[in-house]
Amino acid sequence: MVKSPLGIIFTAAALALAVSPEARKAARKLAVKGAGIVLELADQVKDGAGEQQSAEAVKNEEKNTEKVWLP
């Protein structure tokens, strides 16, 4: 019925999760760690984009303002 090797792997994993409490516990830990990593990466991307925008704003402000020379 299951013809592809990937299908066999998913079926075996589903069976292991259905039968074994230890497998469910390990899968839950991996899911939590994975979610934490994804959230951390998203924060880093947001921080990087914000820093880039503020740097561009400073450059534009310097470019648009006149320098005043004091005698």
* Number of domains the chain is built from: 1
Q: What is the pLDDT along the chain (71 residues), one digit of tens a residue?
A: 568 999 999 999 999 999 999 999 999 999 999 999 999 999 998 888 777 767 777 776 766 665 555 55
CB 15 within 8 Å of CB 8: no
Does residue 1 lie within any of the structural domains? no
Range of the domain at 37: 21-68
Q: Which of 8, 7, 26, 30 is nearest to 17 (CA)?
A: 26
Does residue 62 lie within any of the structural domains? yes
Does residue 6 lie within any of the structural domains? no
Interhelix angle 5-19/21-64, nearest 10 degrees = 110
Does residue 46 lie within any of the structural domains? yes
**23: DSSP letter:** H
Residue 69's identity, in one-letter code, is W
Does residue 53 lie within any of the structural domains? yes
| pTM exceeds 0.85 | no
